[in-house]
Amino acid sequence: MTSQPIANRYDFVFFFDVTNGNPNGDPDAGNLPRVDPETNQGLVTDVCLKRKVRNYVALAKGGGAGHEIYVGERAILNLQNKKAWDAVLPEVTKAEELKKLPKDEAKARELTAWMCANFYDVRTFGAVMSTGVNCGQVRGPVQFTFARSLEPVMPLEISITRMAATTEKDAEEKGDIRTMGRKHIVPYGLYRAHGFVSAPLAQGTKGTGFSEDDLALLWEALSNMFDHDRSAARGEISKRRLIVFKHENRMGNAPAHQLFDRVTAQRVYNGESVPVGDQRTHNYPSARTFSDYKVVVDSSNLPAGVEILDL
């Protein structure tokens, strides 16, 4: 934690696209890609994006000092046997003692500060510590919203076959060892997510200490995280644009929704481009590549104190 806590507010728009893959399965619908049932736009939850940020930081920093990840996937976190605790803290034996830990607020704050100093995700997204003391809960400065595809997506169900059976019993019963499986994909979708970084939650004694370096790492994670999240289910997911509005003031210099309105997407077909959702696009063939879209950022007459970073 060499650099200072951040001193600016940031609002960002994050575009990524998926080709022949499932960016985020819906447990309610047999792992089909999430879809808003009203509009058929694809959805990717905030927690899905946060998971990828955590995984990227774990990979990029290898759990180095100050960059450990609290909420980890086992493949990354080198989990130690919990028995270590008992060896270290023999005096704390009763569960209720642990639950009621620090009644004293300064102690609780010290614990929280120590967690923030060691764990990147606690510093960034916050965490709940079960202390029963109000400041045992940290709100992180970084907040994601759901990503939503610009146009309706049409999830496909692809049946696949496997030339092997799992058990001998299967093979004997069926007389044919081939089994069928299913994959769900979105042929193409361009998704847009919004996010916020609130400087006051990083600053001061109650802040998490989220620093300029941490912020640079967050942008790096957003830009590169999909490249380290390849799998059979994901298909090709790529970051396309990351447009950051940097406010001079820690509270901000302009309403976020007005800044977000400056970032618009258009459909491109036969050399002409019309806004997404325009009636004329109804006769267009479905988008299948990023070049079927155009992202436009209106940087004219920016409010004073707001700067656009295109990362």
Partner 1 sequence: MSFGIKLHVWGDHACWTRPEMKVERVSYDVMTPSAARGILEAIHWKPAILWVVDAIHVLQPIRFTSIRRNEVGAQIPAGSVKSAMNRRDTNGLGLAVDENRQQRAATVLLTPAYVIEAHFELTDMAGEGDTDAKHIAMFNRRAGAGQCFHRPYLGTREFAAHFELVEGDLPESKLPADQRNRDLGWMLHDIDHANDHTPYFFRAALVDGVMAVPPLDSGDVIG
Tell me: does residue 109 bind partner 1 (CB under 8 A).
no
DSSP letters of 176-238?
S--EEEEEEEEEEEEEEEEEEE-GGGTSTTTS---BHHHHHHHHHHHHHGGGG---TTT-EEE
**Candidate ranges 159-167, 196-204, 228-236, 267-275; the one touching partner 1 (CB under 8 A):** 196-204
Footprint of partner 1 on 123-142 (CB under 8 A): 127-131, 134, 136, 139, 141
Whole-number Å distance between alpha carbons of 244 and 225: 17
Of 19, 20, 143, 224, the residue at the interface with partner 1 (CB under 8 A) is: 143
Footprint of partner 1 on 7-36 (CB under 8 A): 26-28, 36
Q: Which amino acid is it at 98?
A: L
- Beta strand pairing status for 293-297 and 263-269? antiparallel
Tell me: does residue 40 bind partner 1 (CB under 8 A).
no
Whole-number Å distance between alpha carbons of 148 and 234: 17
Of 59, 171, 254, 311, the residue at the interface with partner 1 (CB under 8 A) is: 254
Tell me: does residue 41 bind partner 1 (CB under 8 A).
no
Tell me: does residue 194 bind partner 1 (CB under 8 A).
yes
Per-residue burial over 80-94, b = 16 or more CB atoms within 10 Å of its CB, e = otherwise: eeeeeeeeeeeeeee
Whole-number Å distance between alpha carbons of 22 and 34: 9
Whole-number Å distance between alpha carbons of 110 and 92: 19
Tell me the sheet residues that pair with 119.
Answer: 68
**Candidate ranges 106-114, 160-168, 219-227, 281-289; the one touching partner 1 (CB under 8 A):** 106-114
3-state secondary structure of 24: coil
Tell me: does residue 229 bind partner 1 (CB under 8 A).
no
Q: How far is the CB of 76 from partner 1 (least distance, A)?
A: 9
Tell me: does residue 225 bind partner 1 (CB under 8 A).
no
Here the tokens at position 223 are 């830009």
Q: How far is the CB of 63 from partner 1 (least distance, A)?
A: 9
Which parts of this chain interact with partner 1 (CB under 8 A)? 26-28, 36-38, 43, 45-47, 51, 68-74, 77, 79-82, 84-85, 88-89, 92, 97-98, 101-102, 108, 110-111, 114-115, 118-119, 122, 127-131, 134, 136, 139, 141, 143-146, 148, 194, 196, 198, 200-201, 249, 251-258
